[in-house]
Amino acid sequence: MSRPHHEQPPQTLLPQTRVVVDLGAVAHNIRELKGLLSPETKVMAVVKADAYGHGAVQIARTVLENGAHWLAVTRISEAVELREAGIKAPILLLGDVMPGQISYLAAHDIRVTLTCLETARVIAAAAKVNATPLKVHIKVDTGMGRLGILHDQFATPDQFIKPDNSLAPPLQCSEKILEIHTLKGIEIEGIYTHLANADTRDKAHAQRQISRFKLLVTELSQKGLAPPIIHAANSAALIDMPQAHFNMVRPGIALYGLWPSKETDHTRISLTPAMSIRSKIIHLKTVSKGFKISYGSTHVTRIATCIATIPIGYADGYSLRLSSMGEMIVRGSRARITGRVCMDFTMIDVGHIPGCRLGDEVVIMGSQGNETISADTIARTIDTINYEITASLTKRMPICYCHPGKK
């Protein structure tokens, strides 16, 4: 379930801490990405995980208004949310489905990913009762090792038992897909793979994946199956690997103004981060040298100083790993977190910042004055990736949307 979203929030009802999303930045980012594509290549915007913490419904509307053609999510609940919000664009479900969900998916024009022959048989059997075939996309594992029909490059020599109890060699990848093609109740609309290392400097593995995928698509075409939609490129491959574009791409993280990695070519386009997190000082106290702060008394002040309490904690998705390591911005200066991040509150040392008062704005992520703390800044502090920083935010923090020229 997504967090509460507010176009024009009633300020008296909102908590002090809030996520601010600039939809103008999202519009800019998708236009930048589309500038790398041929006119024929369509965009499937990945809006899973409550659109990476930015709010799925508003993000979906924004990307569709600015050139996206399709949407992709992982959980069926994410697809349901978009349909209930009145969004009509085609949606591909990247994750798993249960047979009992097929009627809803077919009725609401939600495409299904099939990742193995066994599941395809079950889904097809459930879909046969529908008036029209269920549209599906076949996922092929060309080297990610997560989901998908395993490419022949990785097939094992295992044998399987036929109905007459005799042994036969395993079906090749193309044979499995062709068998799925014969199943009643489903229609193969697309085929895709996912690249494991497109965001690294060494693209050799990604290039091998693309080559395997191209050969498979060619083989299927020669055998009479040519799915109209072919896709492989995530954000990194969209930016760095035009050979992976095919006729549709699946950008995710770059839509939100965040780079897939530092190794991705940052010179080809300009991305603008869409999210900031802002709060206020709700408590100030002057403490003496040797004062112990937060659970476990893990921080002891070295000098007399001023400690500010900020209403954000790990229940909001602000990582406990930032304890005594992270920073926030107050009055244009950085302030270090002191002690452990609590469930609901975090303390920062503002003793070096003149004039701090109750109610002063605190920038947890974003810019103030000449200082910026980005999702990448926070990620580096706790040895993770920017994806985790935004996608971990919880529904306790409302999302407030702004547009170009608005604050």
* Distance from chain centroid for Cα 248: 18
Angstrom CA distances, 224 to 133, 179, 215, stand at 19, 12, 14
- 280 is a catalytic site residue: no
List Cα–Cα distances, 133 to 92, 177, 180, 202, 326, in angstroms: 15, 17, 13, 42, 52
Decide if 223 is catalytic. no
In a 3-state reduction of DSSP, which class is residue 119?
helix
DSSP state of 352: T
For residue 182, the tally of other CB atoms under 10 A from its CB is 9
Please report which helix (H) or strand (E) contains residue 56, including its range. helix 56-65
**3-state class of 319 per DSSP?**
coil
For 368, the enclosing helix (H) or strand (E) is: strand 361-368
Ramachandran sector of residue 109 (left: φ over 0; alpha: ψ -120 to 50; beta: rest): left
Marked catalytic residue, from 34, 48, 203, 280: 48
Q: What Å distances lie between residue 372 and 34, 77, 334, 360, CA to CA?
A: 28, 35, 9, 17
Quick check: 308 and 281 in contact, CB under 8 A? Answer: yes
Q: Distance of CA 317 to CAs 308, 339, 392, 394, 395, Å?
A: 20, 17, 5, 6, 9
Distance CA 230, CA 322 (A): 41
- CA distance between the termini of the chain: 27
Annotated active-site residue in 88, 223, 262, 295: 295
Q: Report the relative pairing of strands 275-280 and 167-168 from DSSP bridges.
A: unpaired
CA distance 363 to 375: 12
319: tokens are 């990582």
What amino acid positions are annotated as catalytic residues?
48, 295
